[in-house]
Amino acid sequence: MKNAMFKRLEQGIDAMLRHRVIVLLVIAAITAVMGYVAAHVEIKTVFSDLLPKNHPYIEVNNRFKQTFGGSNMVSIMLEVEQGDVFELGVLAKTQQITKALQKVEGIDTYQIVSLASKKMKEVRASTEGIESHPLMWPNLPKDTQEINVLREAVLNNPLVYGPYVSLDMKATLITADFIDGDVDYQKAYRQIAEITEQAKGGGVNVHIVGEPVLYGLVSHYLTETTIIFFATIGALVVLLLLITRTWHGTLLPLITGTVSAIWALGAARLMGFHLDPLVIVVAFLITAQAISNSVQLVSRFDDEIASGHVTSAQAASKVAILNLFKPGMLAVVADAGCVLVVALTPIPMLEKISLIGTVWILSIMVSAMVLTPVLLSWCGSQRRHAHPVDIMPVLRRVLKLCVYVVTSKWRYTAIGGAAVMFTLSSLYAFHLKVGDANPGSPILWPDSTYNKDARAINNKFQGSDRMFVVVAGKKEGALREPEVLQGMERFQKYMEAQPEVGGSISLADILPAVKRVLREGNARYQELGNTSNENGELVFMFVSGSDPGDMDRFADPQALNGAVTLFFRDHQGETIRTAIARVKQYVTQHPLANADYLLAGGLVGVLAAVNEVILAGQIEAIALALLVVVVCCMVTYRSGVAGVFFMVPVMLSNAITFSYMAWMDIGMNINTLPVVALGIGLGVDYSFYVVDGIREGLHRHLDLDAAIENSLMTAGKGVLITSLTLITSVIIWSFSSLRLQADMGVLIALWLFISASSALFLMPAMVRVFRPEFVVGSKERPVEQADDGGPQQAMPA
C-alpha cells in the first residue's frame, strides 16, 4: 500500500517536472487574474464585524442604540489651563465644536450633547408654571451677568454638573454618537481631528476618545504599517541572501510567499471580504509558513546538488519534493485546520479571518509544493555564490551542538528542562486575562495621545466608556410606578459602589430635580413622586418644554422602556466581568414586579458580549486546534502515539506564549485570538521536518544516532535558516506605533523560537530516549559496533 502510494506520488512529480512549462504558465495565469482581483480588496474596519452574532447583549444594544446611545460614541473634552470653563472664549469653542459636529459624516445629529446643544436644558418654575430652557442655545452669554446665570444653572443641575461640566469647573464635555452602519472611521477621525484642531490654543487643551477615533487612528497608521511590512520583506531578502548566498535560495521563498498572498487576497475579494488593518500581522505569519516550506525545499535541493548523487537540477528537485512532500503537506493541512476552527467563534471578523487564512495556507500546496520544485528544476546544478561572506560554518556549529546534546546524556537535561518550563509556564498562564488587560486601548501604546486623552477625561468626569441596562416594563406606564423608579435608584447606588464605575444616570435622577423646582428649589423635596400619577405629572412637566427626542436617552414616550446608563473609567476585561456579575446578582436578588432588567448596551455592553464569546470560544478553539494536529499526525503516520508525540511542542509553545502574554499584560481578545490559533500549527511545523528526516535516515539503514545527526544537519539546517530569518525580520514590527502589532510581532518571534528549539533539541531527544515505534519501527536490529568502538543501535524503518 505504502509502495503504491509512493509510486503514484513519484509518477505525479515526474509528470509535473516533465510538463513544468505548462505548470508554470497555469500558475502564472491564475496569479495574474487573482492579482487583478486582489488589487480591489478594501482595507478598513467595520464595527459590526466585531460584534458576536445572536448574543443577547448585542440584541439589546441593536434594539435600543438609536435612543439610549450606541457603542460608537465620541467624547471631546475642553480643559482650561487657568480659570474655569465659564469664560466666553471657552464657551464659544464649545459652541463651535458642537455645530461643526453636525456636519461630520455618519454622526447621529440627535445624539450630540454639550453645554451648547439644544438638548442640555434647565428646568425652572415661573408664574406660568414649569419651564424648560436650553442652557446655552442658540446664543452665547452676552456679558458677565449672563455667564454667572449660566454657571448657577449648571451648578444646580445634576444632569450637567458632573456629567458635562467637571466638578472643579475646569473642563466641559461634548459627546456625539454615530450611526453604526454609516460610520467611516477614517473619515470620522479626520473630520473630528480638523474640528478639534481649530479649538486648541488660547489656554484650552482638547482631548478626544471613542471607538470611531480609535479605529480611525488605526487607519491613519496604515501607511506606517505598509512601510513596516515592506521593511520586513526587505529584511527577509537581505537575511536570506546573507545566509544562503544564492539568488534561488533568496528569491524562491519570496516568490512562494507572494503567490500565496495574491491568491488569498484574490479569494477574499471574490468572497466579498475586506482586510482589517489590525490583522496584517496575521498575514505576515501565514506568509512565514509559506517561506518556511519553500526554504526547506531549497535547502534539500542544495544538499542533493552538493552530495553529487544527482546528475541534474531536475533530478535534485525531484528528490527534494519526494522526500519533503509528507512533512510539508502535513504542516500545511495541520495549519489550515488550526485556523479553520477559529470560524466556530461566532464573531464575523474572526470567521472572515479564519476563511481567508485557511485559503491562504492551503495555497501553499501550490506555491511551495508545486511552484518551488518547478522553479528549482531550472536553477542549474552548479552552485554559484552571490557574495563572499559565508556564515554557514557558524550554523553548522550550532547544528553540531544540537547533535551533541541529543546524542549525549544532555538529552535528559533537554527533556527535563522542557518539562519544568512547561509546568511553570502552565501555572503562570492561568493569569492570562480575557479582554483588555490595561486601562485605555491595548491597540495603542500607553503613552499614546489617545490613551493620555482617555486618562485625562476619566480623571475629570465620571468615565468615557458607557453601558446601559434597559429597564423593560411589562405594560405602558410601568416606568412611572414608584416601585420601578425606586428600584432603578437603588440599582444605580449599588453599581456605583464598584470603584471603576464613575457614576450613573436615569429617569430616577430627573424627576427629583423637577420636584425640587416645583418646591421653590427646596432640597428637602428632591425625591421621587409618591404615586404613579405624581411621577407622570413630573415627567409631563419636564417634557412639556422640550423638543421631540429630548427624553429618548432616559425613557421612551410610552414610559415602557428606560435606561440606566453607567459610566466606566476603563473597559478592562476584569472591570467588565465584575460589572456584569454585579448586575446579574442585583437583578436576581431584587426582581421588579412590573419590569425586567435587560443586559446590556453601549460600548461596555458590547465588549462584555465579545469577552464572553471569546472566553467560551478560546478554550473550544484551542482544544479543537490541538485535536486537528493530533488527528493529522495519527492519519499521516498511522499511529496514535504520533498524535500524542507531536502534541509536546504544541503544548510547550502555547504554555510559554500564554505565560508571556500574562506577564506582559496582553489580553486574550478579538485581535489576539487568530494569532494564538495559528500559533498552534506554527508550534509543530518544524518538528514535522526533523522527525520525518530521522525516519528517512532509518529507511536508508542508518543507525538511530546517525539518522538524528543526518536529519539535524539537513532538515535542521532549513529550520535554523527559516527561524533566524523570520525572527530577526519580525522584530521590525516592534517599532510600530500600534502596540497590538508590536506585541503580535514579538509573540510570533517567540513562537518561532520555541518551535525551532523544540525541533532542534527536544523532539530528537525524545526520539532518542523514547524510541516511538512510528519513527524507529517495531523491531530493533542487533547492536553494532561504531567506528569509535562505542555501541550504536541500528534500526530499520
> Residue 760's closest CA among 711, 724, 707?
711
Q: Which long-range contacts (CB under 8 A, 24 or more apart) does 127-130 make?
A: 129/541, 130/514, 130/517, 130/518, 130/541, 130/542, 130/544, 130/545
Query: Over 593-634, what HEC string results?
Result: CCEEEEEEEHHHHHHHHHHHHHHHHHHHHHHHHHHHHHHHHH
Alpha carbon distance 768, 533 (integer Å)? 85
Query: Can you give the pLDDT at residue 789?
Result: 36
Alpha carbon distance 240, 747 (integer Å)? 22
> Residue 347's closest CA among 673, 49, 58, 57?
49
Query: Can you give the pLDDT at residue 235?
Result: 87
Reduced to 3 states (helix: H, G, I; strand: E, B; else coil), residue 788 is coil
Query: Can you give the pLDDT at residue 57?
Result: 93
**Other CB atoms closer than 10 Å to residue 537's CB: what's the count?**
18
Q: State which H helix or E strand residue 697 sits in.
A: helix 673-699
Q: C-alpha distances in angstroms, 191 versus 40, 103, 456, 605?
A: 25, 9, 22, 27
* 582 contacts: CB under 8 Å, gap ≥ 6: 494, 495, 498
How far does Cα 688 stand from its chain's mean position? Answer: 28
Reduced to 3 states (helix: H, G, I; strand: E, B; else coil), residue 476 is coil
Q: C-alpha distances in angstroms, 338 versus 273, 344, 685, 686?
A: 20, 11, 12, 16
Query: Can you give the pLDDT at residue 790?
Result: 37
Query: Can you give the pLDDT at residue 783?
Result: 32
DSSP string across 26-67:
HHHHHHHHHHHHHTT--B---GGGGSPTT-HHHHHHHHHHHH
Q: What is the DSSP letter of 644?
A: H
> Residue 176's closest CA among 105, 85, 121?
105
Give bridge partners of residue 601 from the DSSP assignment: 468
> Residue 467's closest CA among 749, 57, 4?
57
Alpha carbon distance 794, 697 (integer Å)? 11
List, for the chain, all residue ranges whose pLDDT scores fall below the cut of 50: 779-797
Alpha carbon distance 538, 735 (integer Å)? 58
Reduced to 3 states (helix: H, G, I; strand: E, B; else coil), residue 171 is strand
- Asked whether 599 and 57 are in contact (CB, 8 A), the reply is yes
- The three cell numbers locating residue 141: 452669554
Query: Can you give the pLDDT at residue 491?
Result: 94
Straight-line distance from the first to the last Cα atom of the chain, in angstroms, rounded to the nearest whole number: 16
- Asked whether 220 and 186 are in contact (CB, 8 A), the reply is yes
Q: C-alpha distances in angstroms, 59 versus 63, 364, 553, 599, 604?
A: 6, 40, 18, 9, 14
- The three cell numbers locating residue 248: 534561488
Query: Can you give the pLDDT at residue 548?
Result: 63
Query: Can you give the pLDDT at residue 797?
Result: 31
Alpha carbon distance 792, 456 (integer Å)? 70
- b or e along 600-616 (b: 16 or more beta carbons within 10 Å of the residue's beta carbon)? bbbbbbbbbbbbbbbee
Alpha carbon distance 213, 207 (integer Å)? 11
Query: Can you give the pLDDT at residue 722?
Result: 87
Instruction: Count each helix (H run) and each strand (E run) in the chain, helices first.
Output: 29, 11
- The three cell numbers locating residue 438: 490595561
Longest CA–CA separation in the chain, Å: 115
pTM of the model: 0.82
Query: Can you give the pLDDT at residue 603?
Result: 87
**Other CB atoms closer than 10 Å to residue 331's CB: what's the count?**
27
Alpha carbon distance 257, 360 (integer Å)? 10
> Residue 376's closest CA among 305, 447, 448?
305
How far does Cα 750 stand from its chain's mean position? Answer: 17
